[in-house]
Structures are given as structure tokens and as C-alpha cells.
Amino acid sequence: MSKERKVNQEQSQNTANNLYQAPGTELETKSNSENKALVIVLLIIAIALSVTVFFVKFSASLAATGNLSYSIGFGLGSIFFALIVMGLFQIGETFRSNKARLLIFNITLFVGTMSTLINYLR
């Protein structure tokens, strides 16, 4: 009787542990190392793109207006706009990963910078 009880207790503990484990976590751990590397690359791109966007927009605005405070705000405004767009995308569940956040941030900055460059190169 005691052996059956121990087996039942072990089975109930195993099912209790499995209740708190999300399905497919074993598959996710294999791809986590790939995702971490991709997230690090996207983070480096985001930082480099943010600095580039700031200096491109700052210099374009400074050349056009000559006003330093306006140019600083113009350069920082595009970065804040990308952060707001990224925040709005957080409404959808599929966009709540670091990879998706950085992709949205990078794409928004890239599109904003290209529109500014096209506007000033006319």
C-alpha cells in the first residue's frame, strides 16, 4: 500500500510541476540562443541607427534653420516618435518580444530618416 501511495504522490507532483510549465518550452530553449544573438545584433543596429538618425536630422535642421534648440528637438523627436510607435505596437501580443520591439524601432527610424533625407535632398 505504501508503494502505491508513493507512486501516486510522485505522479501528482509531476502533474503539479507540469501545470506551471508552458507547453513547448523545450523547443523554445533551443531557439532562445539564436534569438539572443539576433536581439543583440538588432540592439547594436538600433543604437547605431539612433545616433545616425539624430545627427542626420540635427545637421539637416541646423543647416535649414540655424536654430540650435529647434535642431536638437528635431533630432530627438524622431527617436521619441519611434518609441511611441513601438509602444503602440505592444497592444498586439505578437509584438511583445524583444526581437519584435527592436525590429519595429529600427524600421520606424529608417523610414523617418529616409523621408527626411529625401525631403532635404530635393
pTM of the model: 0.67
Alpha-carbon distance of 98 to 96, in angstroms, equals: 7
- pLDDT, tens digit, 9 for 90 and up, residues 78-108: 899 999 999 999 898 888 888 899 999 999 9
Alpha-carbon distance of 64 to 29, in angstroms, equals: 51
Model confidence at 6, pLDDT cuts 50, 70, 90, reads: low
In angstroms, the Cα distances linking 49 to 59, 62, 80 are 15, 19, 13
- Indicate if the pLDDT at residue 76 is higher than 80: yes
